[in-house]
């Protein structure tokens, strides 16, 4: 039985700008995305059963076709044109769910990558990104990782210079948000402030961590933050604990702060943990 376990990394947004809406309902965006060390473990086993099966450490997540990782396996076999010999997927979740961290997308990306390796199909990045994009706009980024400018619906990716060494403290407040509802609110009220994406690209090009931290900005934070006062509170607490900058990721509600050193990040983690149990320390990759 062939088996492979991959780390499926979460992402955060350094910037997020929504530019418009396409007739098919997708939004056009311009955003800087960053992979972080927080990850799920995704094991894929070719088990000879002839079927797909899925087990997940969080019992409330779907373990059928509605799990994005399952759909990734189906999409892989359809695109590769090979029969499914039997594929057992086991997901150990650490990334908070529906939190703006692309948790489902990264599990799906890991399944695509694992199946390409286990079957020796050699589809490579471009073909895997194409398969992934049909399932979700964040999957191509999750396949490639690192630091990327994402345009179009999030699928036009340009690799950027790696972020200088930094640590992130991520806080998931105790509520979830609906990505669709947040996009609808952004459509109804065009954002008045926008991220300085070009300035962010320059700061990355110079390896200027304080310039990066000054430009963390997400147009969705105004919408999610207006509905949930806790987002602004968390941002303030992270800054009070020494973060060089802090912002909400994706459609939220996870909000994170960036730190230059691990020790500063660890003290912030310890100071904030009593108030925010879902808190994570991770490295910017």
Q: Catalytic amino acids?
A: 11, 138
Q: What angle do CA 39, 40, 43 make, to 5 degrees?
A: 135
Q: 31 or 272, CB closer to ligand ATP?
A: 31
- CA gap 148, 32 in Å, rounded: 6
Shortest spacing between CB 10 and ligand ATP, in angstroms = 8
Shortest spacing between CB 114 and ligand ATP, in angstroms = 14
Secondary structure of 52-119 as H, E, C letters? EEEEECCCCCCCCCCCHHHHHHHHHHHHHCCCCCCEEEEEECCCCCCCCCCHHHHHHHHHHHHHHHHC
Q: 87 or 211, CB closer to ligand ATP?
A: 87
- CA gap 270, 229 in Å, rounded: 22
Per-residue CA distances from 155 to 8, 141, 200, 208, 258 (Å) = 18, 7, 19, 26, 25
The answer to whether the beta carbons of residues 108 and 62 sit under 8 Å apart is no
Shortest spacing between CB 161 and ligand ATP, in angstroms = 24
Specify which residues 281 forms β-bridges with.
169
Q: 6 or 102, CB closer to ligand ATP?
A: 102
On the 0-12 / 13-18 / 19+ scale of CB atoms within 10 A, 22 is exposed
What does the binding site for ligand ATP look like in residue numbers (CB under 6 A)? 61-62, 67-69, 91, 97-105, 107, 138, 179, 250-251
Shortest spacing between CB 27 and ligand ATP, in angstroms = 12
Q: What angle do CA 71, 73, 79 make, to 5 degrees?
A: 100
Q: What is the DSSP letter of 140?
A: H
Specify which residues 8 forms β-bridges with.
40
Shortest spacing between CB 274 and ligand ATP, in angstroms = 25
Q: 42 or 238, CB closer to ligand ATP?
A: 42
Q: 105 or 197, CB closer to ligand ATP?
A: 105
Q: Which of 133, 113, 134, 135 is nearest to 123 (CA)?
A: 113
Q: 15 or 67, CB closer to ligand ATP?
A: 67
Shortest spacing between CB 180 and ligand ATP, in angstroms = 10
């Amino acid at each position: 039985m062939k088996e492979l376990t991959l780390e499926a990394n979460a992402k955060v947004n350094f910037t997020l700008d929504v530019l418009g809406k396409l007739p098919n309902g997708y939004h056009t965006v311009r955003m800087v995305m960053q992979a972080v060390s927080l990850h799920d473990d995704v094991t894929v086993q070719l088990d000879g059963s002839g079927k797909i099966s899925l087990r997940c450490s969080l019992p409330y997540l779907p373990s059928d076709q509605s799990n994005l990782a399952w759909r990734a396996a189906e999409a892989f076999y359809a695109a590769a044109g090979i029969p499914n010999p039997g594929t057992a997927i086991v997901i150990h979740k650490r990334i908070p769910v529906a939190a703006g961290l692309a948790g489902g997308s990264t599990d799906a990306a890991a399944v695509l990558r694992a199946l390409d390796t286990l079957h020796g199909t050699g589809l490579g990045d471009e073909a895997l990104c194409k398969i992934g994009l049909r399932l979700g706009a964040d999957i191509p980024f999750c396949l490639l990782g690192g630091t990327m400018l994402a345009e179009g619906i999030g699928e036009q990716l340009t690799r950027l210079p790696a972020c200088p060494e930094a640590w992130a403290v991520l806080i998931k407040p105790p509520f979830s948000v609906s990505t669709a509802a947040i996009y609808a609110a952004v459509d109804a009220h065009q954002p008045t402030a926008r991220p300085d994406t070009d300035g962010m690209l320059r700061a990355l090009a110079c390896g200027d961590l304080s310039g990066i931290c000054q430009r963390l900005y997400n147009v969705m934070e105004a919408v999610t933050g207006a509905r949930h006062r806790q987002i602004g509170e968390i941002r303030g607490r992270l800054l009070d604990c020494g973060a060089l900058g802090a912002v909400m990721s994706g459609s939220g509600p996870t909000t994170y702060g960036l730190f230059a050193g691990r020790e500063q990040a660890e003290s912030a983690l310890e100071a904030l943990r009593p108030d925010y149990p879902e808190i994570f320390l991770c490295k910017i990759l």
